[in-house]
Amino acid sequence: MTVPTLDRVFGRVAFGAEPSNYHAARPRYPEETWQLLRERSNLGPGIDILEIGAGTGLATAELLAHKPRRLAAVEPDMRLADFLRTSFADDCLQVLALPFEDANPEPASFDLVASATAFHWLEATPALRRIHELLRPGGAVALWWNVFGDVSRPDPFHDATKHLFVGHRASPSAGGADSSPYALDTDARIEEMTDAGFVPDPPEFIRWTLRLDASGVRSLYATYSNISALAPTERAHLLDALTEIAIGQFAGRVDRNMTTAIYTARRAQLQPSAAGLGRISGLKR
């Protein structure tokens, strides 16, 4: 059965109704995420970063903690952009309240382009080609997601609640009925990076467990795009049903399997050859 998917444009307004709840309810990224970005993706003091789909700043805060020279955070939802501006008092942060497709930074002006649990709302191929243009030679792109699920482990709460979502539209992050979630479709993600001229690293997957009480379940699920897309009454009924199952079947203690999927790649560096001509480092001829 084909699952209907939310239009990608909806992602520009899907999460801004309650920024404070989104910021509090969504899980943070494991520390291994930042260690990997430091090792692979230039993350460190003095660099110029472009963040795509900054949201409420769950990743922005960590990027700022690494002391970049400049962090341009692109966020198309004005409500989230305002939340970012009021949440972070850092002179290096520039919040751009517009879609990535409409942003117009100078070519070759960033050392790192990053996107956390947001890139699935863009058309991957043109977005990656544009990112390639915005990076300096040797610059890096890092795309990562907190995926709610891990097929290698039992997921009782998901199994007990999946009937509530039958017939609902799904986020582009979900994948199809017979395909992997977007962030776990490694062949597709690596091929897109390669086609855009990047030299990808092996993807990294961090498996962990998110523990929630009944209130946490309600708050978290209220941030999901496929739930925010519902009419208010239908949304409230669905959140009530999720809360009741969390209390009635799980005694208010719910464990959700999590997978943090991280993709990193570099823009090939132009190096002079012995003959005075240029060659691209990292690409086979």
pLDDT along the chain (285 residues), means of 10: 80 94 97 98 97 98 98 98 96 97 95 98 97 97 96 93 93 78 96 97 97 98 96 97 98 97 89 40 31
Cα(105)–Cα(227) distance, rounded to whole angstroms? Answer: 34
**Phi, psi for 119 (deg, rounded to 5):** -65, -20
**Model pLDDT, residue 276:** 39
**Model pLDDT, residue 180:** 87
Q: Enter the pTM of the model.
A: 0.92
Cα(144)–Cα(167) distance, rounded to whole angstroms? Answer: 28
**Model pLDDT, residue 4:** 79
**Model pLDDT, residue 268:** 80
Q: Where are the beta strands (DSSP E) in the chain?
A: 48-52, 70-74, 93-96, 110-116, 135-148, 198-200, 204-212, 254-267, 270-272, 278-280
